[in-house]
Amino acid sequence: MNGFVNIIKPQGMTSALCVMLCRKKLTKQFGKTKLGHMGTLDPMASGVLPMGINQSSRLFDYLLDKTKVYVATFKFGYETDTLDETGTVIDSGYRTPTEEEIENVLSGFIGEIDQIPPKYSAKCVMGKRGYELARRGVDFTLEPKKVTIIDLKLIEKTSDDEFVFYIKCKGGTYVRSIGRDIAYTLETKATMTALDRVEAGIFKESSAVTLDDFMEADDVTEFIIPSDDVLSFDKLVLEKDVAQRILDGYFIDEILYPDGTYRVYSENTFWGVGIVNEKKLKIVTYVRDI
């Protein structure tokens, strides 16, 4: 069995634990099951955590750069070592900007920008993860990386010093760093106090299932998304004899499809992702038992 499940990870739980619980549930119903997630959510964050079942996790490479949408809350006036409320306060006593001041600087963060990842992150430096070095008190510097922010809006002010933002970005963007950099631009400090991932590519919170509902269901089949539904490539259908030749190890060089990447099918079964180049087909990612 292959496919995806779109789970809402609850706040306070690691992504790894969420995956482990779902794997146990799937294994109980379908037998031994492999399960991997598409992008870690920090324990303090909630929101969509898409997971690939068995061979479907091979499709993550086609999805990792997809757009993600977050609703993030930042509190101004202080900064922690982790840039979120789970960390230790390292600087405080700064002012809270006005809504107008914040809105006036947001446009400067839209587009491709240079962003320094948080030290407490999985970025590698000196052969170690940043968070490993930070926990040991090692002094180090992370280089800026290119990230893309598609949209950034101030949603509301929820208290004297706390603001909620809508953030639409490409994969690899650090939301904690966005709050830090908005604050630095306004000559103050900020820390993230809440984060909800509402979209990750085609996976949306509005159509996701809570972890509790998934774990309590007698039959989780209704929550499984077919592998090919997550891909936007055109469809390429192989005749049975041509498909058999591929199984037999032959190279197919008579495909009458334009050059490009395709979802490949035979006998109404999704085989995986194939590339056509000069009428030659190569299946580069299988998601079924061949």
Active site amino acids: 42
CB 75 within 8 A of CB 191: yes
pLDDT of residue 196: 98
Report the topology of domain 67-200: Pseudouridine synthase (3.30.2350)
pLDDT of residue 289: 55
| CATH 3.30.2350.10 corresponds to the domain 3-65+202-228 | yes
pLDDT of residue 100: 98
Instruction: Domain ranges for the chain, please list them.
Output: 3-65+202-228, 67-200, 233-286
CB 179 within 8 A of CB 202: no
30 — pLDDT class (breaks 50, 70, 90): very high
Position 29 pLDDT exceeds 90: yes
pLDDT of residue 157: 98
Task: Give mean pLDDT, residues 80-96.
Answer: 96
Report the topology of domain 233-286: 2.30.130
Local structure of residue 172 (DSSP, 8 states): T
Q: What percent of the chain has pLDDT over 90?
A: 72
- H-helix or E-strand spanning residue 49: strand 46-53
Comparing 3-65+202-228 with 233-286, is the CATH topology the same?
Answer: no
At how many degrees (to 10) do helices 99-106 and 175-185 cross?
Answer: 110
Instruction: Please tell me the pTM assigned to this model.
Output: 0.90
Q: What percent of the chain has pLDDT over 70?
A: 98
Position 233 pLDDT exceeds 90: yes
